[in-house]
A and B are shown apart, each in its own frame.
Chain A
């Protein structure tokens, strides 16, 4: 299959969680607490997609499938998309789009603040995820900005951790997965010298040779 088709397929697959929520909403299937269901589901998908984005590099190295690097940008954009949906649903149904109330909430509740910073870090990455921006910024700066995915993912897991009341098993799973992805990178840098640049000057940000 050619890469274009695979990309298109992945594009559609990443839309399925949203499609599911829309259908559940239309057919009264969101359960007893529909708003909570929407917030939870979009939050979890955003986090999952962040972790998928982060696992592209290790997968590429371990299995030598450099093609998947071309999917990374899409996974990252979808992580942002679901994170933004998550925030908008909260802003709508929990705050009725009262920006003062949202700001007060961010400033008074650590778990909301942590989620906010996580989302905030995703914004510049999302904006600069085009070839034009790589060229405009230069690879060095572009890579610096996209390094934000590490604190963003860490804060997203922390946000989840702080949100649960008592049973930390679910956020713990995400913390472990994130830990593995971090350790892999540290180990790689340690064993193979400094981290191999994911990009060099004649690749675009999706890793494609110019």
Chain B
């Protein structure tokens, strides 16, 4: 499995952020001082897409893929609770108070429980995992999360025999989340998974990234990450996890049922009605990449969907 345990992360990968920022700074300074011809800047790795233009399109997953910079992970967010522009969350997520914070686990379980964030940290050991994130808008990132498998939490809650689905809720508080004053979606944001998807070891509850606690704009204090599904399934700032016996409605599915299905597995051959899903743009790069079935995690998760028509169950 391509789960990276804490030990697998090379420290060099983590410091990449600093190198990135350092290089950026160097070029900005140098360019401002007129030390380099601006055109030369296009030769740097970041902008190399300019030169690669007519070479074959790379797949979205390569062994030497770089982590997306901390700056970009925290300044290019879809988090409509803080505004619909990608730069809004970084500006306004400071209004969210993440402590104290409670997460309720309820519904069809033997042991319902309300966790404080401290409880979560104490009960479940945190590990680091590097995952690709593919947004439904055809861009992607590589993110070093910190968190734990949702399965651990669900096992402790002990689902009843008739539990089939898991429903997740984001905090609903327009005071702290001003975007909720605008009816772009049905608030609070809701998401759902089939129980076996939720129990899959790749599905994690994330509490941090780049080895630090989760920035608010990335879904603090705790969010879901399902790496083989489009990003909007990975619900942020969770306050409730409920086990139920029927397929829940989700916010995006309610908003546009023909565009956003319950499953929303990454699939290059099933296009969004308004744009292609065959390719994606890695944030920070200029060139396109080929999108992979289940975002490149097919070996791990394809068995969840054997015999299912992925075009119909999009």
Residues of A within 8 A of B (CB): 26-28, 31-36, 92-94, 96, 105, 108-111, 162-163, 165-167
Contact = CB atoms under 8 A, between A and B. Distances in A.
A27 B182 CA distance: 35
A94 B288 contact: yes
Interface stretch (B107-115, B161-169, B276-284): B276-284
B276 A105 contact: yes
Interface in B82-97: 84, 86-87
B172 interface: no
A28 B41 contact: yes
A111 B272 CA distance: 12
Given A32-B72, A163-B274, A26 B38 contact: yes
B247 interface: no
A166 B72 contact: no
A109 B274 contact: yes
A109 B288 CA distance: 19
Nearest to B185: A166
Contacts of A28: 24, 27-28, 41, 46-47
B31 A93 contact: no
Contacts, number: 64
A205 B182 CA distance: 46
A26 B76 contact: no
B28 A162 contact: no
A26 B84 CA distance: 28
Contact of B288 (A32, A96, A108, A165): A96
A98 B173 CA distance: 48
Given A96-B288, A165-B137, A33 B274 contact: no
Given A32-B75, A33-B281, A111 B274 contact: yes
Contact of B76 (A27, A32, A105, A108): A32
A34 B72 CA distance: 12
22 contacts: A26-B31, A27-B31, A27-B32, A28-B24, A28-B28, A32-B72, A33-B86, A33-B281, A36-B139, A92-B53, A93-B287, A93-B288, A96-B53, A96-B54, A108-B271, A109-B276, A162-B274, A163-B274, A166-B255, A166-B256, A167-B84, A167-B184
Contacts of B185: 166
Nearest to B44: A28
Contacts of A162: 274
A2 B61 CA distance: 60
Interface majority SS (helix, strand, loop, mixed), chain A:
helix
Nearest to B71: A32
Interface of B: 24, 27-28, 31-32, 38-39, 41, 46-47, 49, 53-54, 57, 72, 75-76, 80, 84, 86-87, 137, 139, 182, 184-185, 255-256, 271, 274-276, 281, 283-284, 286-288
B286 A34 contact: yes
**Max count, chain B CB within 10 A of own CB: residue among A32, A94, A96, A108:** A32
Contacts of A32: 72, 75-76, 86, 283-284
Given A28-B27, A31-B76, A96-B54, A109 B41 contact: no
Given A27-B32, A32-B72, A109-B274, 10 more contacts: A26-B39, A26-B41, A27-B41, A28-B28, A28-B47, A108-B271, A110-B274, A111-B274, A165-B137, A167-B184
Contacts of B281: 33, 35-36
Contacts of B24: 28
A151 B229 CA distance: 40
A26 B288 CA distance: 20
Contacts of A96: 53-54, 57, 288
Nearest to B252: A166
Contacts of B182: 167
Nearest to A27: B31
A108 B274 CA distance: 9
A172 to B, nearest CB: 12
Nearest to B255: A166
Contacts of B53: 92, 96
B133 to A, nearest CB: 13
